[in-house]
Structure formats: C-alpha cells, structure tokens
Structure 1
Amino acid sequence: MIQIKKAEGISWLLPLTRSELRLCVETICTAIGHEGASLDLNLVSDAEVAELNRTFLGCDGPTNILSFPSTDADSISDMPAGWHMGWLALSLDTTIREALLYHQDVTEHALRLIAHGTLHLAGYDHSEEMFDLTEKAAASALAALATA
C-alpha cells in the first residue's frame, strides 16, 4: 500500500490528485521490479526536509527528496512482494523551485525525484544504472497517467 501524507501548513502544489500520485508511485515500484511493495511518501516543506537532512544526514539546508529505507541493502533482493520499502520525504517547495529553475514540467520533475528516491529505498546507490532506471520508472509513471 502506498501511503501519501502531506505535512500540515503546506499547500499541495502538485498538478496531480492524490489518487494519480498513488498510481504513479505504484507504477514506479513495478518498473523497478518491486511490484506490490509499499512505501510512505511524505510531502513536506523546505523547513521540514532541512530538519530531516540535518538530523539524519548531518547536512545543512533543504534538499529535494530524502529516502529512509526500512531494511539494509543486502537483503532487499530477497524481499517478498508487498514488503514495506520505507519512506520518502519530498520537499514540495524545492520540487517546484527546481522545476522552474530547470524549465521542467512540475509533474515530470516530481516523478523523477520520487523514482530516484524509491530506487534508494530499493538499495541502489548513484550509478549509471540507477540514473537509467530513474528515467525508465519516471517515463512509466507518466505513461500510466496518460492512460488513466
């Protein structure tokens, strides 16, 4: 099950409904080989993601997405369908700001970030393979939106 939570006091800001976003996250999980897996997606502000970044990673300032896996990377390949991957914190503020800065569609940028974060939950580190899978998963999510 995909749980989507929005922090209090922030606007939704995404041009997707909650059900469309859930469909996209499910499609991303399927595209990376974890069909039926569950995760929590928390939509937060820059202030909240900056606090998480400082607390858990020792980094100052906001970032676009943070991933908090539920298990270590060594055991992920053996996880059964429906396993809980962990949770993501997506800063809506940073997502919108970056989309404008990079002249990207907000939906595409958000889905790319969510795909990237989901791959981290699945045990991937930054590599050419991860970046290729990110693009494939984001494209799959966009295609699912187009046919929904």
Structure 2
Amino acid sequence: MIEEGDWETIPDAEGLARKAASAALAVTYEAAGDFEATVMLTDDTHIRELNRDWRAKDKPTNVLSFPAPEMPGATGPRHLGDIALAYETLVRESEEESKELAHHFVHLIVHGVLHLLGYDHEVEAEAEIMEALEVKALATLGIADPYRDMAA
C-alpha cells in the first residue's frame, strides 16, 4: 500500500517487497507454510507519528514492524503483521551509506519481516543472529552484506 512518498523511484517496489519477504522467510524456521504481511510505503511525517504513538519515540525511522498475534484455528495464510517504511529516511540512508536505493529497500523489508517473526537486535547476541539472517537472505537476492563496511 503506497500512502505517501515518491515510491515510483523504486521500480516494481511491490515485486521487490515480495522477493525480500520470501527471502527472509526462506532463511528462518518459518519457511514452511503460507504467510502474508501488509507493507505500507509512507513518508517521514506519518512514520514519525507511528513511532511516537507506538514506541514513544518522536522522530522518523526507516522501518517499523507490528507483529500480529497468531490466531489458533485460523484458515488460510498466516498474517504475520504490518511493516511501514519511510521514503525520505530510506533515501537519506541509502545516500549516506552509498547503497543502491532498491537494495536498501529490500534490506529494510527483510529486516521488517524478521521482526514480524520475532527476531530483534536490542541485545548484541540477538543482533548478531538477526544480522546474519539478513545477510543470508540478501545474498540469495544478489545483494551484498549491508553491514560489511559498518564495522568500526
């Protein structure tokens, strides 16, 4: 769902999001089964509101994930939850980090899906697991390790 932002600068954003989500699922134990998630492409203004209202952080961010509870007895694909991405932050980060815009978009979708599956990066050990899964998923799509140049 495109709400706000200049998202047409990413050709076939929907197709890329599907490939990214599939790659994230394929590198986790969740690979079996049918899944769905909602992806909202928006702008910094709206994501700032979401971040403020849901995380008490009054600033824009690149991606937010809202995991959905598993519904026992539900039929059809399991709804994992919702992901929101902010266009201006995505563009700014890709420029600052010299990353291809579409590659950074795919990375954030992978990151968001992993959050929907319960992965996190608040603790160093968890961050290492999550980052390794991201790198593995991105590699299946021909995208280089986004963390390789960030080691200091």
Is the pair's TM-score, using the shorter chain for normalization, greater than 0.5? yes
The aligned residue for residue 64 of structure 1 is 62
CA distance in structure 2 between the partners assigned to 1:113 and 1:58 by the alignment: 21
Percent pairwise identity: 31
Task: Report whether the alignment pairs 1:6 with 2:2.
Answer: yes
Give the CA deviation at 1:71.
1.9
Alignment equivalent of 1:37, drawn from 35, 38, 41: 35
Call closer, same or farther: CA 1:80–1:132 in 2, change over 3 Å.
farther
Give the CA deviation at 1:142.
4.1
Task: Report whether the alignment pairs 1:121 with 2:116.
Answer: yes
The aligned residue for residue 104 of structure 1 is 99
- Judge conservation of contact 1:24–1:142 (CA < 8 Å) in 2: no
The aligned residue for residue 81 of structure 2 is 86
Call closer, same or farther: CA 1:14–1:69 in 2, change over 3 Å.
farther
Q: Which moved more, 1:62-71 or 1:32-41?
A: 32-41
Aligned length: 133
CA distance in structure 2 between the partners assigned to 1:114 and 1:32 by the alignment: 15
Task: Report whether the alignment pairs 1:21 with 2:29.
Answer: no
CA distance in structure 1 between the partners assigned to 2:8 and 2:90 by the alignment: 9
Q: TM-score, normalised by structure 1?
A: 0.79
Q: CA RMSD in A?
A: 2.4
CA distance in structure 2 between the partners assigned to 1:93 and 1:69 by the alignment: 24
Call closer, same or farther: CA 1:81–1:31 in 2, change over 3 Å.
farther
The aligned residue for residue 146 of structure 1 is none
- Judge conservation of contact 2:65–2:81 (CA < 8 Å) in 1: yes
Structure 1 residue runs of 4 or more that deviate by more than 4 Å after TM superposition: none
- Judge conservation of contact 1:15–1:106 (CA < 8 Å) in 2: yes
Give the CA deviation at 1:81.
8.4
Call closer, same or farther: CA 1:41–1:16 in 2, change over 3 Å.
same
CA distance in structure 2 between the partners assigned to 1:117 and 1:99 by the alignment: 17
Unmatched 5+ stretches in structure 2: 144-152
Deviations 1:49-81 (A, max 9, x none): 000000000001100000000027xx9xxx998
Unmatched 5+ stretches in structure 1: 144-148
